[in-house]
């Protein structure tokens, strides 16, 4: 069954961030991307390897921390992404592979 997407959730597709504000068109790994991560709370990431939803959580020690989620066959899986400054396209693709073992090339 296809994913039912929330229209207001920012999306990253083909390395570009799509939002409902001035940050639409921001490229992954750019200074604007890391600035957006400073206040963004969630986004949907889709690449050729698969997809995930990333959420920012507040930790007692260390502040803001990103976690990736993916539900498959009724099971919610989670992968740690790290702090905003570590949230690169490469890290997101690694998380996709962790959350979807069938996607390994």
User: Is 72 among the domain residues?
Assistant: yes
User: Is 2 among the domain residues?
Assistant: no
pTM as predicted: 0.86
User: Is 4 among the domain residues?
Assistant: no
* Total number of domains constituting the chain: 1
User: Is 5 among the domain residues?
Assistant: no
Residue 3 pLDDT: 52
User: Is 54 among the domain residues?
Assistant: yes
Domain residue limits at 44? 11-100
Backbone angles phi, psi at 51, to 5 degrees: -145, 160
User: Is 40 among the domain residues?
Assistant: yes
**The 3-state secondary structure of the chain, one letter per residue:** CCCCCCCCCCEEECCEEECCCCCCCEECCCHHHHHHHCCCCEEEEEECCEEEEEEEEEECCCEEEEEEEEEECCEEEEEEEECHHHCCHHHHHHHHHHHCHHHCC
User: Is 1 among the domain residues?
Assistant: no
User: Is 105 among the domain residues?
Assistant: no
Per-residue pLDDT of the chain (105 residues; tens, 9 = 90+): 345 555 689 999 999 999 988 888 999 999 999 999 998 999 999 999 899 999 999 888 878 899 999 998 888 999 999 999 999 999 999 999 999 877 555
């Amino acid at each position: 069954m296809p994913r039912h997407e929330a229209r207001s959730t920012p999306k990253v597709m083909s390395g570009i961030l799509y939002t409902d504000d001035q940050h639409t068109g921001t490229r992954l790994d750019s200074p604007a991307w890391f600035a957006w991560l400073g206040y963004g709370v969630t986004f949907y990431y889709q690449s050729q390897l698969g997809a995930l939803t990333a959420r920012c959580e507040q930790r007692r020690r260390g502040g803001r921390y990103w976690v990736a989620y993916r539900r498959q066959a009724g099971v919610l899986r989670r992968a740690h992404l790290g702090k905003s400054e570590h949230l690169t396209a490469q890290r997101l693709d690694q998380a996709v592979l962790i959350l979807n073992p069938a996607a390994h090339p």
